[in-house]
Amino acid sequence: MKAKSIIEKLESWLNRGYAITPIQALNKWGCFRLGARIHDLRKMGYMIQTINQQANGKTFAKYKLVK
């Protein structure tokens, strides 16, 4: 059986209604470039919302599929 690519895993994750942050993507799938993968999905036609969040004095993106 073929292993799923990061894009396929991310697509499935977002389609189930979950949001994702860069640290979650790194921990779940070893994805260091979540922003680039989100860009790829947007080019494929997905409407993905970027939500800026803050924690521990840091600002980071959280991505969620717009339905």
Say what the pLDDT of residue 4 is: 82
Say what the pLDDT of residue 59 is: 94
Residue 46 in any domain: the answer is yes
Total domains in the chain come to: 1
Radius of gyration of the chain (CA): 12
55 phi/psi in degrees, rounded to 5: -155, 135
Residue 10 in any domain: the answer is yes
What is the DSSP secondary structure assignment for residue 64, as one 8-state letter? E
Q: What is the pLDDT of residues 9-64, one digit of tens each?
A: 999 999 999 999 999 999 999 999 999 999 999 999 999 999 999 999 999 999 99
pTM value?
0.89
- Rounded CA separation 49/28 (Å): 20
Domain with 40, as residue range(s), is 6-65
Residue 21 in any domain: the answer is yes
Residue 33 in any domain: the answer is yes
Residue 1 in any domain: the answer is no
Residue 50 in any domain: the answer is yes
